[in-house]
Amino acid sequence: MELSLTSCRISSKVAGKLSSKIRGGRQRRRRGAATPSNNQSVEMKMRKLQKLIPGGEGLRAELLFSRTANYITQLRLQVHVLQALSKIYGP
């Protein structure tokens, strides 16, 4: 019995594992429950974001993200206004 590569189908997940083992590389970890180091990394990034956003310290994540989106919108508006003013009063 002869198998051709086109007639033998395997899932991409299995193919990835096989090719990784053939190359001798490491497999990627599946996304799932965060490891303690990932939790610490997320907490550190949240603290940095809280310091960056005015009034952001001590906010819950969902409110912090909402304030962040509003702050970005406000900054973009300021940039547009300043660009318009520089066109009017610029050299």
Residue 50 vs residues 36, 37, 46, 67: alpha-carbon distances, Å: 21, 20, 6, 10
pLDDT of residue 23: 59
User: Which tens digit of pLDDT belongs to each residue from 23-71?
Assistant: 566 666 666 666 678 889 999 999 999 999 999 999 999 999 999 999 9
pLDDT value, residue 7: 44
CA distances from 84 to 17, 38, 89 (A): 55, 43, 9
* pLDDT value of position 34: 60
- Residue 21 phi/psi, 5-degree rounding, is -70, -35
Q: CA-to-CA distance for 27 and 17, rounded, in angstroms?
A: 7
pLDDT attached to residue 91: 75
Q: How far apart are the C-alpha atoms of 36 and 23, rounded to whole Å?
A: 30
What angle do helix axes 36-52 and 61-89 make, rounded to 10 degrees? 40
